[in-house]
Amino acid sequence: MVLCLPLARPPSPIISCHVHTSPTLLRTHNPRPSTSHSPAPTPPQLPPSLSLNPNSTPPPSPSPSLTCALHCPHFESCSGCTHEFNLHRPSIVDEATEFFHAHGVDDFTFDSCKLWGWRCRAKLAVRGSSVNPVVGLYQEGTHNAVDIPDCKAHHPNINAAVELLKQGITELNIEPYDEDEGTGDLRYVQMAVTTHDTALPASKRYLNGKVQVSLVWNSRNETSHNSQKLHALTNFLWKKGGRWNNNHLIHSVWANFQTSTNNIIFGNRWRHLVGEADFWENVGGIDISLAPSSFGQANTRAFNLLLQKLQKYVPYESSVTDLYAGAGVIGISLAASRKCRSVRCVEINKESKLSFEKTVNRLPSSVDSSISWHHADTSKDPVTWVRGSDVIIVDPPRKGLDPSLIEILQNISSIKHKPESSSQSPSVKDKDEKRPWILRAQEDSVQVGSKVTLEGRRTLPQTLIYISCGWESFKEDCKSLLSNKAWRLEKAHGYNFFPGTQSIEVLAVFQRGGKASQNKKKAGKKKKKRVKNDK
């Protein structure tokens, strides 16, 4: 892995990235997107990985701003990428470094991750005509779709699957959706790549990823008037790229039915049409199942790096609550890697329940934890979920934490514990529950393993781990959590989940109280003094 360092800005976090150094590959202008349907060009070859000391002088080479450039013919045409150079270090990293330094974290790190071909999940609009279909993203601020056949962010097999889809649209006379008229057959397509193929050596699994294709069809269900075209397109994709084809590209094909005229991509009805019904990926040391309707990280490699780091901050055999949990990937990975006593996953999207069940059913028998998933709104009575855990994990949407949860976390030390009789069983207590949102969470819950003891219910968290995809909202939440010294910020790490954008994924670790950090500094000073005397 080649190390790209920013110029003359010490101290700075270590930045690791892949670069290609051929000057002939550097763009001098921003061409408009190609309208041809030719296969995507072979990506430039990357040099062997190297490891450099960040304090040493790098060998002469093109500047990082050029070698870590996007080189995409669609830049400035689609709304996907916002900047073309310095993919290894977006300027927001400087702001993050200063922010964390101001809040007592001087060792903030940033991992640039994979810079090209990183996106394993994409939702694309289908527009144009059957003769000249357009499959891509909207131009910024418009609903004019732009074709992006050579997208440098996409996993190469997403581009290949899009090309195959276009062929099918043209040959079968499938009409793309017309937003103004509300007519046409195919509205959107979701492409999701699984790189979990145990039949291949680990080094070849990523490049040989298979694509789950979800067709968003402009009808109420599979029996509508244009359903024959849907099945014809499905058969075309499977015949040309399915399991029995020499070029096995397609993992499966699903249909989603949507007739609404709003901007919501997916409808409520899904149908598995062909291929493998279950979509598996391996992250955080576990196999996870993701339905096409479930949220999944677009950058699976970067997410895996984040999970590996997160696991180090969770004590062995602790009790964990995973809020905004989705299908419970984070919580389940901790149950497996840290041998947690209990893990509770809380999620508002009920579609994630099935994925959770399939994932826990595939865990090895050596995982002996109480693992549960609850369909609940974290914003309603959050103290219910905060209690009973040593560690709280929060992975909120871009808007950040719910205000009601922030308030509880700010006042964590003053939470009153209602006395509980040791003779009262959890089942009896559940029967006495009156709050409707908690009752719904209990009815829709999934429990694996033994019940949590009553003693566990009285525990309050000592560690809060915040995973943020919205930098602005994180800054506000962080300031709120630190405002009354209920928490202190211990560690922070950044990840480049979306190269080519001014976006940063943050993993921040908070500990209860403010005194320990002062004691820690004093202990550090004493330790240095002893070493000096020994000399």
Q: Is 469 a catalytic residue?
A: yes
Active-site residue identified among 68, 151, 469, 478: 469
The reply to whether 161 and 97 lie within a common domain is no
pLDDT in tens, 177-186: 999 999 999 9
C-alpha span between 27 and 370 (Å, rounded): 54
Which of 40-49, 163-172, 426-435, 525-534 is predicted least confidently?
40-49
Q: Residue 43: what pLDDT?
A: 42
114 and 168 fall within a common domain:
no
Q: Look at the pTM and tell me if it is higher than 0.85.
A: no
Give the CATH number for residue 223: 2.40.50.1070
Determine the pLDDT at residue 294.
86
Residue 293 resides in a domain = no
Residue 5 has pLDDT above 80, yes or no: no
Report the pLDDT averaged over residues 441-469: 72
Question: Does 315 share its domain with 463?
Answer: yes
At 222, is the secondary structure helix, strand, or coil?
coil
Q: Does residue 479 belong to any structural domain of this protein?
A: yes
- Using one digit for the tens of pLDDT, what is the confidence trace for 142-153? 889 999 999 999
Position 465 confidence tier, pLDDT thresholds 50, 70, 90: very high
**Binding-site annotation: residue ranges for S-adenosyl-L-methionine:** 297, 324, 347, 395
Tens-digit pLDDT profile for residues 74-91? 888 888 888 889 889 999
Q: What is the residue range of 126's domain?
A: 121-280
Same domain, 198 and 334: no
Per-residue pLDDT, 223: 87
Instruction: Let me know whether 114 and 125 are in one domain.
Output: no
Q: Say which CATH number the domain at 111 has.
A: 3.40.50.150
Question: Does residue 468 share a domain with residue 357?
Answer: yes
pLDDT of residue 531: 42
Let me know whether 153 and 265 are in one domain. Answer: yes
User: Is pLDDT at 417 greater than 90 in this prediction?
Assistant: no
Per-residue model confidence (pLDDT) at position 44: 39
Q: How far is the C-alpha of 45 from the C-alpha of 376, rounded, in Å? A: 47
Q: Per-residue pLDDT averaged across 397-412, rounded? A: 95
- My answer on whether 236 and 330 are in the same domain is no
Q: Give the model's pLDDT for residue 62.
A: 58
pLDDT at 22 over 90: no
pLDDT band at 29 (very low <50, low <70, confident <90, very high): very low
Q: Is residue 36 part of a domain?
A: no
- Residue 108 and residue 163 in one domain: no
* Residue predicted with more confidence, 314 or 430: 314
* 112, pLDDT greater than 70: yes
Q: Please state the domain count of the chain.
A: 2
What are the CB-based long-range contacts (under 8 Å, 24+) for 411-417? 411/484, 411/486, 412/386, 412/460, 412/461, 412/486, 412/487, 412/512, 413/486, 413/512, 413/513, 415/383, 415/386, 415/387, 415/460, 417/458
Residue type, 364: P
List, for residues 189-208, the tens digit of each pLDDT value: 999 999 998 888 989 999 99
